[in-house]
Structure 1
Amino acid sequence: MTQWTDMQTPALTRLPDPGAMPEFYEGVVAKRGIAWVADTIVITLLTTLAGVLTLTVGFFLWPLFFLGIGALYRIATIAGGSATWGMRMMGIEFRGHDGERFDIVQSVAHVGGYYASVATVVPWFLSIATISTTPRRQSLTDFVLGSAAINRPG
């Protein structure tokens, strides 16, 4: 796979150019979908564990526990390696507009944007549409932040 860090890129972004380096974006749509399913399974298992550990309180407050545990899981894994466990399994990771891996601030911003996007139907479908149609396969949140999910380099 081609490295892009030493190449000339437009001033607005240091992400790989999808025209010159399409290998960074090949299959990303399907990989993001599979990673999302895998992450949802992990979050469901963690929420179930929290329900047991809280002597069933977590089961009565399932939506709150699911959202809270999901946010913590996504922020921690993305900040720790620029990808959730599902994304790592699929060989993809997030990169910011500067071409670098996400830090904690970008992780929090991305997860916040993700939650805002899935809160209602219209932004959720718009996000799916932008992932499917933009050259860098960016979600609505990625588009706003200037980030993208790419195939892991090297």
Structure 2
Amino acid sequence: MTTLDSAYDHSRLDGVRRKRMLAFLVDFTCICILWLIACVVVGFLGIITLGLAWLLYGAVFPIVAVLYSGISISNRSATPGMRAAGLIFRSETGEPPSFIQGAAHVILFYVTVTFLTPLILVISLFNSRKRLLHDMLIGVTVENA
């Protein structure tokens, strides 16, 4: 790991923590708008299926969040919020991020925030690449574009 860190261009990490907070706000807003649209669709499907589709309401937000992050990260190496903040998503291997990495990133983010809220942020203060806990778990770095 030290060879990767010593060869890494740390100037690409200036202001990343602050930009990630802005990116989260933009992405969360986009996900909530898509979630509301999906809830309306599920509501109409519930009418057509005599209430059966309404059982999907509990799964709508996670599905929207996973699809939003997975598709946007795999297609453009960043979510719309990350692009607005000038950030990109890089895997440790140098390969473009996959849908699975984008989906795992958002799933691990919400799981770790739920159970370890302060720890995911504190960890970024003590590692050289300013990565959060869920970044380390899937082997990615978020850096300036």
TM-score tier after normalising by the smaller chain length: 0.7 to 0.9
Q: Which residue of 2 aligns with 1:116?
A: 111
Question: Relative to 1, partners in 2 of residues 1:150 and 1:16: Cα closer, same or farther, differing over 3 Å?
Answer: farther
Change (3 A) 1:108 1:46: closer
CA distance in 1, matches of 2:59, 2:33: 15
Count of aligned residue pairs for this structure pair: 137
**Alpha carbons 1:25, 1:151 under 8 Å: kept:** yes
* TM-score normalized with structure 2 length: 0.79
Give the match for residue 45 of structure 1. Answer: 33
CA separation of 1:16 and 1:141: change in aligned 2, threshold 3 A = farther
Aligned-pair distance for 1:53?
A: 2.4
- Which residue in the other structure is 1:79 paired with? 74
Partner-residue secondary structure (3-state), 1:39: helix
Give, as a single letter, the amino acid of the residue that structure 1 aligns with 2:126.
Answer: T
Question: 2:17 aligned to 29, 36, 40, which one?
Answer: 29
Q: Which has the higher helix share?
A: 2
The 8 Å contact of residues 14 and 98 in structure 1, kept in 2 or not, is answered as: no
**Separation in structure 2 between the aligned mates of residue 59 and residue 34 of structure 1, nearest angstrom:** 33
Task: Choose 1 or 2 for highest CA Rg.
Answer: 2
The CA deviation string for residues 58-94 of structure 1, in whole angstroms up to 9 with x for no partner, is 9986553112211111111111112111001111111
**Is there any run of 5+ residues in structure 2 with no aligned partner, and where?**
47-52
Percent sequence identity is 28
Distance in 2, matches of 1:53 and 1:109, equals: 26
